[in-house]
Structure 1
Amino acid sequence: MTITNQNKIHRILRIYEKLITGDGIIRKELADYFEVSKKTIKRDLKEIDRYFQELDNNYHKDYISYDYQNKAYFLNDTKLDLTQKEILAIVKVILESRAFCKSETKKIINKLITKVPLNLQNDIKEIIANELYHYSELEHQSKLLDLIWNISLAVKENRVIKIKYNSLSKDNLVERKIEPMGLMFSEYYFYLIAHHYEQKDDFKIPYRLDRIDEFQVSTEHYKVNYTDRFQEGEFRKRIQFMYPGKLMKIKFKFWGDSIEAVLDRLSTAKILDEKDRKYIIEAEVFGKGIKMWLLSQGDNLEVLEPEKVREEMNQTIKNMIGHYKN
């Protein structure tokens, strides 16, 4: 291989590296650096552009274009796996969820932003600057990324795990041997959904990840039939605030401002009847979390069935009234 060809290969690889990382290509700067003409750099850009065309089998599209504002060539945003708009949306969701401690949040966001060309990164940084500066991490301040990954692998491989868990109802850590079924996120927290080891019924127990003090994956596997596998989406439709419990049907009357908000919150909800903007709704739900949501609606609803839940609501409201008596 001649020295000229070696120089060309090095030059094209350098241009390709700059484009992929979102850096702009200024022809004169590179021409001076490599001691070639600007026309040579332009030919290099055309060769790289042709390479992207061959990858997509699309010879009618320019993947490298000139940005007149920045006076440089950039790899088009449409070629990226995620667009500037998509990355901004993901970043906003991460910030709003408050799922991670501040250090992990910043790390994730910074990596996402680097997927956008340099000439477009400042837009996202400026849009989120105030929200990121005032980001309020949760009280536990735990780093969760490694734990999320390790538990997800245990779920995938059906491995029995042992944990030491900080239960708020007890003073000391409790030890549990469990069969991990799934990992979910709800209202600020990540949860491990599990069965107790060799549990006979199908009662599912959520464990908050930030309360897991120790975690050990065993070599033992547990068996689960495909038809009996845990389905996160179906579980999410039926549980509120990750409070476990038995599956039941509940019926209530609702006359608040937004029936859409009710249907969005309770994914299994069905409207059985409607008259004068008063709705009879039925939903299939797990546990006592539904009671917390029902109470959050104030005097905009009335529980009709089951009678036990109706009585519990009645007693809870009486207790609440008692708190406000002199």
Structure 2
Amino acid sequence: MATNRHAQIRYTILDRCFNNHNRLFDYDDLLNEVNYVLFELGTEGIKLRQLQYDIEHMKSDAGWAIEFDETLKKGRKKAFQYQDKNFSIANHPLNVNDVEQLETTIAILSRYKHRAEFSWLEELIPRMEQAFQLVESGDNGIISYQENLDLKGREHIGTLFNMILKRKQVKITYEPYGKPEFDVVVCPYHIKQYNNRWFLFCFNEEYKSISNYPLDRITGIEELNASFESSTINWLDYFDDIIGVTKPEEGKVEKIVLRFSEQRINYVLTKPLHGTQKIYKEDQSNCSMTIEVIPNQELYQQLLAFGPDLEILEPAKVRLKMIDLIKETSNNYNYAE
């Protein structure tokens, strides 16, 4: 049985229902659950016959060979629930149809991975092939990735992504470090990952400006029916003149000259700090580089990480800021042995 995007959505909804051991679902309940989501996505609902076909496919070997607890009833009607309480198709190996579709999708994506705007596919494709075991047996340890599966806020990514797609205003409950949580109404625009952390960029209704909130400090999200303030920002360009995620409203781009030690310069050449990085030709040692960015907290954090291998030559205000930060750091170690 061929499957399409809507079929996969239906299987995911049914899987959630079958895996819910706090509630029983009969045919009517399952139809309501599936059609509610489909209507929200702006597509037609399904009839009982299609639902029955979907369930039979999930039970078949071509699907996931699922097994139900056949003893369950809701009133006089048959109820559906997995026999194995720990089963979910999300944790089950891919079926034949899934593998074929995924391989086709990867083949299509591979056509575009050499284009600049799709450079992220170079990492994504091998990651998918390994995660879904599409590599040859014994080759599943070729590559590993840095990630934190316990990172708070990951569960909000899908919700916020859909709110952005649907252009929905939301109320988020936010809990700053060491302060009481509060509610804020925003129009979500963009989600960005930086330094293994996710951030939401949005229009803040109270301050009438762009704000960003780390997802690990968001404790709740509520969809609102209020009007949505459209964004005029090109998010592909928004981060071009900064390092990280903080963009000071009154900040100006500065040409910063950085002199590295001979031991560190090759590292910087192979891993540029920023897309504007160039060799500083006025330095005959070839150990100096320039970048053109708006100074922010993330910039100084990166520069401090080079320790004694880096000296800021220009501009004076960035150099003085670095001197102050280094002095503050040094003061932490001014104690008697």
Residue 179 of structure 1 corresponds to 187
Matched, 1:81 2:130: no
Match of 2:238 among 235, 240, 254: 235
Distance in 1, Cα, partners of 2:153 & 2:230 = 32
Residue 140 of structure 2 corresponds to 125
Q: How much does 1:283 deviate? A: 1.4
Residue 301 of structure 1 corresponds to 310
Distance in 2, Cα, partners of 1:285 & 1:166 = 28
Q: Point out the structure with the larger helix share.
A: 1
Residue 157 of structure 1 corresponds to 166
Matched, 1:268 2:272: no
Structure 2 vs 1, CA of residues 80 and 181 (structure 1 numbering), >3 Å: closer, same or farther?
A: closer
AA partner of residue 159 (structure 2)? N
Distance in 2, Cα, partners of 1:207 & 1:234 = 19
Unaligned runs of 5+ in 2: 1-59, 64-98, 111-120
Alignment of 1:8-157 (within 5 A): 80-82=104-106, 90=124, 112-113=132-133, 116=134, 120-125=135-140, 127=142, 137=148, 139-140=150-151, 144=155, 147-157=156-166
Structure 2 vs 1, CA of residues 76 and 207 (structure 1 numbering), >3 Å: closer, same or farther?
A: closer
Structure 2 vs 1, CA of residues 123 and 262 (structure 1 numbering), >3 Å: closer, same or farther?
A: closer
Structure 2 vs 1, CA of residues 78 and 311 (structure 1 numbering), >3 Å: closer, same or farther?
A: closer
AA partner of residue 82 (structure 1)? I
How well do the aligned residues superpose, as a CA RMSD in angstroms? 3.9
Count of aligned positions: 223
Structure 2 vs 1, CA of residues 276 and 252 (structure 1 numbering), >3 Å: closer, same or farther?
A: same
Alignment of 1:209-224 (within 5 A): 209-224=215-230
Distance in 2, Cα, partners of 1:218 & 1:180 = 12
Structure 2 vs 1, CA of residues 89 and 269 (structure 1 numbering), >3 Å: closer, same or farther?
A: closer
Matched, 1:277 2:277: no
Alignment of 1:239-254 (within 5 A): 239-246=242-249, 247-250=251-254, 251-254=256-259
Matched, 1:318 2:331: no
Distance in 1, Cα, partners of 2:333 & 2:189 = 43
The TM-score normalised by the length of structure 1 is 0.56
Structure 2 vs 1, CA of residues 93 and 313 (structure 1 numbering), >3 Å: closer, same or farther?
A: farther
Residue 31 of structure 1 corresponds to none
AA partner of residue 245 (structure 1)? P
AA partner of residue 311 (structure 1)? L
Q: How much does 1:214 deviate? A: 0.6
Match of 1:188 among 177, 192, 196: 196
Cα contact 1:182–1:230 (8 A) shared by 2: no
Matched, 1:290 2:305: no
The TM-score normalised by the length of structure 2 is 0.54
